[in-house]
Chains A and B, each alone.
Chain A
Amino acid sequence: MKAPINLLKKLSGVKLDDKEIVRLISEHIGQVEDFHDLRGDYKGILVAEIKEKQDHPNADKLAIYKISTGDKKLIQVVAGDKTLEVGDKVAYLRPGSKIPYTIYTEAEPVIISKRKIRGVESNGMLGAEKELNLGSDYTKVMRLPKDAPIGEDFAKYYELDDTIVDIENKALTNRGDLFGILGIARELSAITNNKFESPQWYLDNDKKYTEETSCLNIEIKNDAEVICPRYTAISFDNINIQESLIWLKSFLVKSGIASINNVVDITNYVAHLVGQPLHAFDYDKLVNNDLKAKGTARINIRMAKIGETILALDNKIYELDENIMVIADSTHPIAIAGIIGGKDTEVDANTKRIVLECANFDKTAIRKTSMRLGISTEAATKFKHAISPDTCIPTLNKAIELIRELTEASIASDIVDIYSLPQRTKSLSFSLASLNTHLGTDLDKETVEKILSNMEYGMEKEDEGYVKVSIPYWRMDIDIKEDIFEDVGRIYGYNNIKLELPTRKIKPSGINKLYNLKRQIREILSNSGANETDTYSFTDVQTLKKCNQDPEFAFRIKNALAPELSLMRTSLISSLLTKTEENIQRGFNQFALFEMNIAHQRQLVDGNGLPIESWSLAMVICDATNNSQTSAYYLAKRYIAKIFSTLHIEGIGYSLISESSEKELPINIKNLIYSFESNRTALIKYNDIVLGVIGEFNSVVVNNFQLPAYSSGLEIDLNALLNVEQKSKQYREMPKYPASINDVCIEVNKDTQYIDLENEIKKIVNKDKLWGEVSCIDIYSKGKEDSKKRITFRLTLRHNSKTFNSNDISSIICNIEKNIREKFDATVI
């Protein structure tokens, strides 16, 4: 929302310097996106008169002018516009001044210098509209009105000795009234603790004007009352279309609006002053285009019909449908309501008669249509932020007054007003105590009332300790007392409130176990050479296929930024594999990447119909320097085992995927396993609960991602892991007697699982008063043909109450031998 500060000062009566006003706006109204003092842009530019004109001797397209800025001595300037005549008034850019346009378009603005153009000296430049940032024409020098005073500072003459403040629209989202300069002036006045008094016409809801000379009938039919609560209009005759006066053009330029002609400019001026858009239709075009007009301008507010189109003022054709509200004649749309007018009824240089519309449209409807059609206009921006229907008549009155004054027009109809459900004045009452509690202030009734009445709230009588106000008609955002608290806090100044920490009971905060688990895992892995990363949740069909995963499991994004971001990943490993490939391409040959995040499966929905969100840990390990033929599975297993042992998670089992039934797998795991090589990958289990997958990648995946032979990965469901019972460890009395260390080599069938053997031995060496530890020091087999393998266990044996002798040891080993022979057909060798 752009506002020229001079006008704000004039309307509000505030007499502070521009920078101070900008500060007040940002601290009391909303974020200032930008502010710019135009004086610097136009420094060194003067009003001048053409005194002599001659052809350029060396160039057909150039002319030499001698101009006057009031001194006797004339100044010679070469210009590309040969159409200027002696007596024309122009804006003269002296050497040393900047070309205003280039201040905004170039890295360094172009500075005018005295120079020779085709051999003829030129002492400056005569500005075109575009060069002066005052319009779009760059083909000819801009002419100033005949009465422009020679030698006057151009900025002053054109009312550009001003600062423009641009308030971020986002900060004003709920304040339709602040999309008018009057609204901002009102706030500014209140901020400086002065009562704002709206101009009388803004408060006057009477239809002040009636038909004068001729009679141009308007007939209005509102078939969209729900989203067009009010429609007012009036017609004019004898319009004299001209260029606007300087003050009007200047205002529009400063507000970022293009100047068209006096009628259109007046509607835009009033609209920007009040925040209520207006639109002018050419009366004759409206009637003549309408076959059923019968001499009357017939205006119908309705929803468009499928198949209808309109050529809009932006010269584009829009296809309409039943969700778009239009202004139509008896058959065809003539404007997209609240957004843009139609070309067929455009007010142009030949227009003599007009219909002026001032209507109220629903913010939601306008927002939707503006988004749907991709049209963003000044009018749409204003309607999107809710305007009071009661603004229509004052706005129309003001526009009528100016049109009569500036275009010599006469009023050709009464004001037509379709307003079936007039707004009622709202009032609100609140206690001072609740206001002070909410803000943390200690304001008395007088101060609060003063602040509110400065903003033109109406004061009503109320008991001690309470304040009752009536809400000004233009404040559509005030519904509850907290809305008023905000006004009071804002105007009083948030930064005048004394900071105070809340007091609280010393109850400790709760523990988030999952969050803590992730922190512990992060600690363990980052201390073991692994690097944590954070990757996008988005993926695509191609990547999932590269991972050998089914894209059917993935949520699809309706409005994806790019095709490669069109799915929600179903596993973290897919992201890590992509990042692994990139890092290999960067030349890294030895690393472990991990991530903890959420992956989604479209099939998994909770009781409330929401996708189930479970946190996972995923890791990819890759070492191209390792040529040892060993299985990378075991390095992944070392990582996960370290996590389990550090966190005291016991009872975790591993079972080969190729030996497990796929049927009972949870969906998240089922989708994962296809990325892995089933003979070299295990399910991580706790009892029958599958927690995750760990192993080497499927050869297709290895190939797709160009992984080195020594690569492995894992993905484990952390929410499921959290449910694994962690036994609280009790202290065990330390052994008093020395340990005896014995290695036992056991020969067993190859397909016997190591863990079964280890568990059996563990059981035996921890019976009664024994305290034994079992570790594996070697696993060996003669070759592929050998049906046996030999596992060497190291037993660290202790007894609670004595030192072992050789008999004790051999009886234990005997015991082991006996048991494993029975259970596993294994022998101690």
Chain B
Amino acid sequence: MHTLKTLEKIKTEILESNSSYSEFKEKYLGTKGLVTLALKDITTIDKKDRAEYGKQINEIKNICNDILQKKKLQEEKIHTSKKIDPTAPFDINTPSDKLPEILDLKGSKHPLHKEVEIFTDIFKDMGFDILESRQIDDDYHMFESLNFPKGHPARDMYDTFWTEDGFVLPAHTSTMQNRALKKFGPPPIRVVLPGRCFRNEATDASHEHTFYQIEGIYVDKGISLANMQATIKTFLEAYLEKELEVKIQPAFFPFTEPDCEFIISCPFCDKVGCSTCNHSGWIELMGCGMIHPNVLKQGGINPDIYSGFAWGFGVDRLTMIKLGIKDIRLLRDSNLNFLRQF
């Protein structure tokens, strides 16, 4: 049974209603609608209230009609607008003869630099400073400070370019070790040294005279080979987003002692063997080792107090493996068909 009070309630409800045109009409003005029923109930209302009730119910009915009118208009508007094809660059209803401008084209970061950014981000999170490598250097930094005396056969391992003025084009980012030790010392020293390197070797699909390396050094009290293995492993797992098995095997570099080659279980086949790992299940990733005491001394650091490790790896190869690039020469060919893929 309706009373003046319940009418008040209906009114508020109507004003706040969100229902669509048809829902609204049926709910309030249909044959069993709230307002229709309330209208019928007028006969049951107390005589003294009946006039007031009548006035109220008429007002509600008018409000309802107003709302309905509005809703109708609104809904008509929605349904009369024309459909577009959201998948097209533009369509018949919004024609455009505008050609794209350079600013609208697909820009891209070079894949190598994109990768270097990822590497340096991880190392930064691990507390490493960043110092970029030089591109022309001297014999002292490239060789002597790294414990390669003049005439040392290990110099043969690096087919270096020389300028006519006697400068050297770094064949590895280790050329920055001495500077990094001096710049960031006294220890703790944690720094990664990305940079362009050069080797005097003929180019083919897997060899380039120009390539990118990232060197890293960590010097502090009590730093060990175990620390080195764990640090490199942690970095690689963060980069490849995968747990890895790692191994090191002996190698030779004059500037480390011991000298190692860092090897990981192939992240692409989980050691089953695939073309990336030459079906061995393992990939040799980088040279590393404990920094030779002579190198520390050259950098002004007392090897009786401090020890440290260093590593260096090629960015080109990792990028190629990751992106499935088969020919290293593509990286510096600047072909837009290549660049725009990244």
Residue positions of A touching B, CB distance < 8 A: 26-31, 170-175, 363-364, 367-368, 371, 384-385, 437-441, 480, 482-483, 485-486, 489-490, 494-495, 497-502, 504-510, 512, 514-515, 519, 522-523, 525-538, 555-561, 565, 568, 579, 582-583, 586, 588, 590-593, 597-598, 600, 602, 609-611, 613, 621, 623, 625, 635, 638
How far apart are the CA atoms of A585 and B299 in the complex, in Å?
50
Check if B227 sits within 8 Å of A501, measured CB to CB. Answer: yes
* Chain B residues within an 8 Å CB radius of A638: 103
Known contacts A483-B257, A582-B334; A367 and B153 CB within 8 A of each other: yes
**B130 contacts A512, CB within 8 Å?**
yes
B117 A519 Cβ-Cβ under 8 A: yes
Asked if B106 and A515 make an inter-chain contact with CB atoms under 8 angstroms apart, the answer reads no
Query: A565 to B251, alpha carbons, bound, how many Å?
Result: 32
Verify B124–A509 contact, CB threshold 8 A: yes
Of B9-17, B23-31, B83-91, B157-165, the one contacting chain A is: B157-165
Q: In the complex, which of the residues A173, A440, A507, A597 contacts B227, with contact meaning CB atoms closer than 8 Å? A: A440
Assess whether B68 is interfacial by the CB under 8 Å rule.
no
Evaluate contact between A490 and B108: CB separation under 8 angstroms.
no
Let me know if B78 is at the binding interface, CB within 8 A: no
Does B320 lie at the interface of the complex (its beta carbon under 8 Å from any beta carbon of A)?
A: no
Closest to A32 in B: B249
With A26-B249, A31-B261, A363-B153 known as contacts, the answer to whether A583 contacts B335 (CB < 8 A) is yes
Assess whether A559 is in contact with B339, with CB atoms less than 8 Å apart.
no
Q: Are B224 and A509 in contact (CB under 8 A)?
A: no
How far is A525 from B198 in the complex, measured between Cα atoms in Å? 28
B residues touching A (Cβ–Cβ < 8 Å)? 99-110, 112-113, 117, 120, 124, 127-132, 134-138, 150-154, 156-157, 161-165, 167, 169, 188, 190, 196, 198, 200-203, 209-210, 218, 220, 222-227, 229-231, 233-234, 246-252, 254, 257-261, 284, 290, 292-293, 307, 331-332, 334-337, 339-340
Q: Across the two chains, which residue of chain A brings its CB closest to B110? A: A532
A499 and B230 in contact, given A534-B331, A582-B334 (Cβ under 8 angstroms): yes
List 19 contacting pairs A-B, 8 Å CB cutoff, sorted by A.
A27-B250, A30-B250, A174-B252, A368-B151, A439-B224, A482-B258, A502-B218, A509-B190, A512-B131, A526-B108, A531-B108, A531-B339, A532-B113, A534-B112, A582-B335, A590-B105, A592-B102, A592-B105, A621-B102
Q: Is the CB of A555 within 8 A of B339?
A: no
Residue in A555, A557, A583 whose beta carbon sits within 8 Å of that of B334 in the complex: A583
CB A62 to nearest CB in B, in angstroms, measures 43
Contact of B164 among A371, A555, A591 (CB under 8 A): A555
A171-B251, A635-B103 are known; give 11 further A-B pairs, CB within 8 A: A30-B249, A171-B250, A367-B151, A485-B290, A495-B248, A497-B229, A510-B129, A531-B339, A532-B110, A559-B200, A586-B337
Return chain B residues, CB-CB under 8 Å to A501: 227, 230-231, 234
Closest beta carbon of chain A to B34's beta carbon, Å: 47
The reply to whether B332 and A536 form a contact with Cβ atoms under 8 Å apart is yes
Q: Could you tell me if B110 and A512 are in contact, using CB atoms closer than 8 angstroms?
A: no
The residue on B at minimum CB distance from A557 is B161
| Contacting residue for A504 out of B104, B108, B127, CB 8 A | B127
Q: Give bound CA distance, A510 to B123, whole Å.
A: 12
Residue of B nearest to A582 (CB): B334
What chain B residues lie within 8 Å of A635 (beta carbons)? 102-103
* Nearest CB in chain B: distance from A632 CB, A: 10
A368 to B151, CA, bound (A): 8
A638 vs B103: C-alpha distance in the bound complex, in angstroms?
10
Known: A497-B226, A530-B107. A514 touches B132 (CB 8 A): yes
Cα distance A638–B100 in the bound complex, in angstroms: 16
Chain B CB within 10 Å, residue with most, of A371, A440, A602: A440
With a 10 A CB-CB cut-off, give which of B258, B260, B290, B307 has the most chain A CB atoms: B258
CB distance from B332 to the nearest CB of A (A): 5
CB-CB under 8 A for A602 and B153, given A591-B336, A610-B137: no
| Beta-carbon contact of B336 and A588 below 8 Å | yes
CB proximity of A595 to chain B, nearest CB, Å: 8
Known: A494-B225, A530-B107, A533-B110. A171 touches B257 (CB 8 A): no
Asked if B224 and A31 make an inter-chain contact with CB atoms under 8 angstroms apart, the answer reads: no
- A512 closest partner in B (C-beta): B130
Which residue on chain A has the smallest CB distance to residue B160?
A: A559
Partner of A529 from the list B102, B132, B198 (CB cut-off 8 Å) is B102
Q: Is the CB of B136 within 8 A of A499?
A: no
CA distance A555 to B234 in the complex (A): 41
Smallest Cβ distance from A575 to chain B, in angstroms? 8
Contact present for A610 and B331 (CB under 8 Å): no
Query: Cα distance A526–B339 when bound, in Å?
Result: 11
Most A CB within 10 A of own CB, among B103, B110, B334: B334
Cα(A501)–Cα(B190), bound, Å: 13
Residue of A367, A384, A586 near B335 (CB, 8 A) is: A586
Q: Look across to chain B and name the residue whose beta carbon is closest to the beta carbon of A524.
A: B107
When distances are taken between beta carbons in the complex, the residues of chain A under 8 Å from B120 are 515
- The answer to whether B332 and A364 touch across the interface, beta carbons within 8 angstroms, is no
When distances are taken between beta carbons in the complex, the residues of chain B under 8 Å from A519 are 117
Contacts of B339 in A (CB 8 A): 531-533, 593
Q: Are A533 and B334 within 8 A (Cβ)?
A: yes
Contacts of B124 in A (CB 8 A): 509
- Bound form: Cα–Cα A482–B339 in Å: 47
CA distance A588 to B105 in the complex (A): 12
A28, A515, A560, A623: which contacts B132 (Cβ < 8 A)? A515
Query: Complex: how many Å from CA A232 to CA B227?
Result: 48
Are the C-beta atoms of B233 and A499 separated by less than 8 Å? yes
Whether B108 and A593, one on each chain, are in contact in the complex, defined by CB atoms closer than 8 angstroms, is no
> Are A440 and B225 in contact, CB atoms less than 8 angstroms apart?
yes
Q: Which residues of A contact B210 (CB under 8 A)?
A: 536-538
B145 to chain A, nearest CB (A): 13
| Chain A residue with the shortest CB-CB distance to B201 | A561
Give the residues in chain A near B163, CB-CB below 8 Å: 555-558, 568
**CB <8 Å contact, A500 and B227:** yes
Q: In the complex, which residues of chain B have a beta carbon less than 8 angstroms from the beta carbon of A506?
A: 127
B141–chain A nearest beta-carbon distance, Å:
9
List the A side residues contacting B99 at CB < 8 Å: 625
CB < 8 Å neighbour of A591 from B102, B134, B231, B259: B102
Nearest CB on B from A712, distance (A): 11
Judge whether A526 and B153 touch: CB under 8 Å.
Answer: no
Report whether B257 and A485 are in contact in the complex, using a CB–CB cutoff of 8 Å: yes
Q: Do B134 and A534 touch (CB < 8 A)?
A: no
A611 touches B136 (CB 8 A): yes
- Pick the contact of A528: B107, B203, B222 (CB < 8 A): B107
Q: Report the bound CA distance from A527 to B109 in whole Å.
A: 9
Given contacts A490-B250, A602-B165, contact A498 B107 (CB under 8 A): no
What is the CA–CA distance of A504 and B250 in the complex, to the nearest angstrom?
Answer: 28
Given the interface pairs A512-B129, A515-B130, A556-B163, the reply to whether A568 lies near B248 with Cβ below 8 Å is no
Q: A789 to nearest B CB, angstroms?
A: 26
Instruction: Looking at the assembled complex, report how far the CB atom of A741 sits from the nearest CB atom of chain B, in whole angstroms.
Output: 26
Residues of A within 8 A of B335 (CB): 582-583, 586
Min CB gap A42→B, angstroms = 25
Kindly state the separation between the CA atoms of A363 and B167 in the bound complex, as whole angstroms: 25
Q: Is the CB of A529 within 8 A of B225?
A: no
Q: How far is the CB of A825 from chain B (nearest CB, A)?
A: 37
When distances are taken between beta carbons in the complex, the residues of chain A under 8 Å from B292 are 482
Residues of B within 8 A of A526 (CB): 107-109
Closest 3 CB pairs of A and B: A440-B226, A440-B224, A364-B151
CA distance A384 to B102 in the complex (A): 58
Chain A residues with Cβ below 8 Å from B254 are 174
Q: A486-B258, A528-B107 are in contact. Are A439 and B226 (CB under 8 A)?
A: yes
Tell me which of A485, A498, A583, A609 contacts B226 (CB under 8 A). Answer: A498
Which residue in chain A gives the minimum CB-CB distance to B221? A437
Residues on B with beta carbons closer than 8 Å to the beta carbon of A494:
225, 229, 247-250, 258, 260
Residue of B nearest to A597 (CB): B196
Closest to B199 in A: A561
Residue of B with least CB distance to A605: B165
* B228: nearest chain-A partner, CB-CB: A440
Nearest B residue (CB) for A567: B163
- Residues of chain A within 8 A (CB-CB) of B203 are 561
